[in-house]
Structure 1
Amino acid sequence: MQTQYRPVHPSRSDTLVIRGIEYRIRRWGRRGGRPLLLLHGWMDCAATFQFMIDAAPAELLEYDLIAPDWRGFGASAWAAEGYYFPDYLADLDALLDQLAPERPVDLLGHSMGGMVASLYAGIRPERVARLVSLEGFGLPRTTPEQAPARYLRWLDECKTPPAERPLRGLPELAGRLRKFNPRLSEDKAAWLAAELSAEVDGQLRQLADPRHRWVNPVLYRLEEAMACWRQVQAPVLWLAGDEAKLLGWMGETPEQFALRRDCFTSLCYESLPDCGHNLHHDAPGRVAASVSAFFENAARE
């Protein structure tokens, strides 16, 4: 019989209205502690950080650990129109205005969440004290010649209502999670699948607006991202999993990837062996220990 995963440090839930959208917030750690925002990636939710929290050293649990479900993900409400990347920046800005209006905060983001956090830290550098990015290094470079086909695909997608395909059961979603990340254990995959789904109108569905799967009509412009990164004043920790796989996906050489890292004036970069894209699942203890040590070292400087 499969062992059931049980969180060591269960989360608490709050609800906030952010720019007219009801956001569900998970919290761990000590209320009143120093705020540390945990920002999840695409097609994920705040529960993704549970394994890292359970493996965290005591020092990290002294923070007020706050993880929102982004708009259209998890238990947060869906947007009336589509989803555009700048909306996440504006949502984070409004969230910080509510949670920590008078003090800089620490940000930790995975994948898309790391991209949001890194851009925000350069756009409002006075609001970010320390920054941690877990595989949130940006997207592959694009060229202007890709724009016509991208816009055309988006226009066609807008004409067809997004289809929500019901799940046959939790094992189906757990299997998808393990197919994407074979290092994820069966018990953790089953727990995360339950957090990523809910019964809607008598059918089990993944908790994500299917419009998130529409193509972004605006091309990713690496030069703009790099311009924002150069404005970051906070010390930065970049954690990567399998670097060779990452560079293959980006289509970059190690020298090209180094140019991304060179944008940050104060950067600590670590590659964790035997980890994939979801390194906070593959090595939650190592990730939590690296984050805790980074915060401690930054506080001494």
Structure 2
Amino acid sequence: MPIIDVNGNDLHYLHERGKRRQQRGELAAPGPGVAPAPAPAATTTSTDLGDPARPAGAAPTLVCVHGLGTDSLASFYLTMAAPLAAAGIDAVFYDLRGHGNSGRPARGYTVGDFVADLAGLLAALGIDEPVHLVGNSFGGTIAYAFAAAHPDRVASIVTIEAEPPTQPWADRVGLMLENTRRDLGREDTYAWLQKTFGSHYVRLSRLAYRRLQETSMADEIPQGPLLDLEDLARIQQPVLSILGSDGFQAEDPYLLQSVLPDCHTVIVPDQDHSVLVESHRRVRELTIDWVHRHQAVGVPSGEGA
């Protein structure tokens, strides 16, 4: 179990190398392309931008950042590791501080702390080229914050049911965390979770409840640092926002497109916040194509291949 000391805390990680299928450094051909999102009145349910030729050279690096509470690197690793390697993409998976097999300090859970961990992990692994970030839920929030803090370290961003760390986000997440810390430990809550999701989710929920009780996570995460509209306008990297049609952003799924300079939205029909789990094949296809398309660092998403 690879463990590395980052910012005085143990981080559990896995670094999977992409397979080289072609000679002269060429990688495997990508799947179908990702279309620019339509106007806000429409709903994107499919993609088709053609099949661009991929630039030869070093393999792109994708860093997967999981969500909060019951999540861990397993949600990405089990659904993406083998396909990413087969597609010639190097991938880094890691457990956030306080999650999975990483250390659980009592304090140090602001968004800034998670951003510092990601920067420290990349430095410790000797990854100095811009990376592609894919973040699920809170992992996507970290990806946006990292891009704002380290724009030169990011080639592109894929987020799944995720928002940047803004004041409205902090207000909603703060209330959710406080309610969870208060109610998740009740046995009637676990009985409902058992009936609805099964014993595995109950076990994960009990662990998440312990994290909230034993750390400052619920108090510190909403503190940010938060981004305002000017901060968001400076995120120049191409962004793919994957949302469930019934997810947390269902009321205004194209809001990010109105505040980020280069953002495309794909809405997965008949899905809620659990898009990564319930539609992992679709998420995987979109992510692999997105990384291939934006492998040439510095090429805006509307140009190039």
Q: 1:63 to 1:176 in 2, by over 3 A?
A: farther
| 2:80 aligned partner | 53
1:249-277: per-residue Cα shift (whole Å, max 9, x none)?
Answer: xxxx53xx544322222222100112221
Aligned counterpart for 1:25 among listed residues 13, 19, 31: 13
Question: Whole-Å Cα distance in 2 between the matches of residues 177 and 129 of structure 1?
Answer: 41
Figure out how many residues of one structure are paired with residues of the other and give that number: 249
Superposition deviation, residue 57 in structure 1: 6.5
Q: Where does 1:235-246 land on structure 2 (aligned, <5 Å)?
A: 235-242=238-245, 244-246=246-248
Q: Unpaired segments of 5 or more residues in structure 1?
A: 1-12, 198-203
How far, CA to CA, are the matches of 1:68 and 1:101 in structure 2? 14
Determine the structure 2 residue equivalent to 1:214: 218
What SS does structure 1 have at the residue aligned with 2:155? strand
Structural RMSD (CA): 4.0
Q: Kindly indicate whether residue 156 of structure 2 is the aligned counterpart of residue 115 of structure 1.
A: no
Letter in 2 for 1:241: G
Residue-by-residue CA offset, 1:153-187 (whole Å, 9 max, x unaligned): 99xx9xxxx9x9699xxxx69x83884xx6xxx7x
TM-score between both structures, scaled by the size of structure 2: 0.67
C-alpha contact (below 8 Å) 1:123/1:228 kept by paired residues: no
Counterpart CA distance in 2 for 1:208 and 1:28 is: 31
SS at match of 1:262: helix
The one-letter code of the counterpart of 2:272 is G
Q: Deviations over 1:200-246 (max 9, x none)?
A: xxxx9569623366344855687x2443332223221110012x542
1:18-167 to structure 2, matched below 5 A, reads 18-30=6-18, 33-43=59-69, 44-53=71-80, 56=83, 59-60=86-87, 62-138=88-164, 141-142=167-168
- Answer yes or no: is the 8 Å Cα contact 1:51–1:281 preserved in 2: no
The residue number in structure 2 matching 1:9 is none
Q: Is the 8 A contact 1:59 1:292 kept in 2?
A: no
Name the SS for the 1:214 alignment partner.
Answer: helix
State how 1:257-272 maps to structure 2 within 5 Å: 258-272=254-268
Hey, what's the Cα distance between the residues in 1 that align with 2:219 and 2:264? 33
Which structure 1 residue ranges, 4+ long, deviate > 6 Å from structure 2?
164-167
- CA–CA distance in structure 1, aligned partners of residues 285 and 132 of structure 2: 16
**Aligned mates of 2:195, 2:133 — CA distance in 1:** 27
Q: Give SS of 1:97's match.
A: helix
1:36: Cα distance to partner? 1.1
Change in CA separation of 1:53 and 1:218 when aligned onto 2, cut-off 3 Å: closer
Structure 1 partner of 2:33? none
The 2-side partners of 1:35 and 1:284 are apart by 20
Shift in CA distance, 291/142, structure 1 to aligned 2, threshold 3 Å: closer
1:42/1:111 contact within 8 Å kept:
yes
1:118 and 1:207, CA in 2 relative to 1: closer, same or farther beyond 3 A?
A: same
Q: Is the 8 Å Cα contact of residues 109 and 136 (structure 1) preserved in structure 2?
A: yes
What is the distance in 2 between the residues matched to 1:16 and 1:82? Answer: 17
Give the secondary structure class of the aligned counterpart of 2:83.
Answer: coil
Aligned equivalents of 1:206, 1:260: Cα separation in 2: 29
Retained in 2: the 8 A contact 1:53–1:288? yes
From the superposition, tell whether residues 115 and 289 of structure 1 become closer, same or farther in structure 2 (CA, over 3 Å).
Answer: same
Q: CA deviation at 1:96?
A: 1.5
8 Å CA contact retained: 1:232, 1:264 = yes
Using the alignment, how far apart are the partners of 1:67 and 1:106 within structure 2? 12
Rounded to whole Å, the distance in 2 between the matches of 1:36 and 1:193 is: 31
Q: Please give the residue correspondences for 1:217-256 in structure 2 after superposition, counting only pairs within 5 Å.
A: 218=222, 224-242=227-245, 244-247=246-249, 253-254=251-252
Pair 1:101–1:238, CA change in 2 (3 A)? same
Distance 1:126 1:14, change over 3 A: same
**Alignment partners' CA distance in 1, 2:104 and 2:242:** 30
Q: CA deviation at 1:87?
A: 0.4
Find the aligned partners of 1:177 and 1:231 in 2 and give their Cα distance: 44
Q: What residue number does 2:292 align with?
A: 296
Aligned CA distance change for structure 1 residues 76 and 208 (closer, same or farther; 3 Å): farther
